[in-house]
Amino acid sequence: MLIVTVGLHMVDCGRVLVQQRPSDKMGLKGCWEFPGGKLEDGETLKQALKREWKEELGVVVEVGRLIDEHVIHFEGIGNVLLPLFEVFFDRKTQNAAAKEGQVFHYMEMESALALPCVPTMLLYGPAVVSHASAKRQTSRPVESGPPAAESTLPVLEGKDLPCSQL
């Protein structure tokens, strides 16, 4: 079974980073998605996610807990496992950049679901909205990541703006 690991980066106001698939990518061109990609031989799910975020956005992430997962059948491909993990990076010390020609934005999950999106976005929607709600109720900012060791990790320089301006 093909495995495509996916990462959710959420800022403290509950907005999530979504990207639009480049027009030169095979399948689902122009649809919105969370960054991620296929598991390569010998990789763990978290290693694949770290590699994909570095390749797609040029940022080093730490991978947190599993938020949701689904198996979807794609015509011509078969069943695909799509786990969604929380990812963390420090927007003050790392700049995300569209390495594959994609467009990316932070937006409310509800707004992202109103756009043409990949099928998993619709499936992940309830879990992401619930996760955002839980994060808003905690005192720890979302983008601080897992405790201590990751607090010094690099999140989009120049994007260190109030949520209304992201």
Q: What confidence tens digit (pLDDT) does each residue in 56-78 have?
A: 999 999 999 999 999 998 888 89
pLDDT attached to residue 103:
87
The mean-pLDDT minimum among 17-31, 55-69, 108-122 falls in 17-31
CATH of the domain at 54: 3.90.79.10
| Res 12 pLDDT > 90 | no
> Residue 64: phi, psi to the nearest 5?
-95, -145
H or E, element range at 68? strand 62-74
Distance (Å, rounded) from C-alpha 165 to C-alpha 137? Answer: 22
Q: Tokens for 154?
A: 């690099």
pLDDT band, very low/low/confident/very high, at 138 (cuts 50, 70, 90): low
In the chain, how many domains are there? 1
Q: Model-level pTM?
A: 0.78
The SS3 call for residue 74 is strand
Burial of 133 per CB tally in 10 Å (0-12, 13-18, 19+):
exposed
The SS3 call for residue 116 is coil
* Full residue range of the structural domain in which residue 23 is found: 2-165
Residue 14's contacts (CB-CB under 8 Å, 6 or more residues apart) are: 108, 109, 132, 133, 135, 136, 142, 163
Distance (Å, rounded) from C-alpha 7 to C-alpha 89? Answer: 11
Q: Tokens for 28?
A: 């689902």
Question: Which among 6, 115, 127 is positioned nearest to 67, based on CA atoms?
Answer: 127
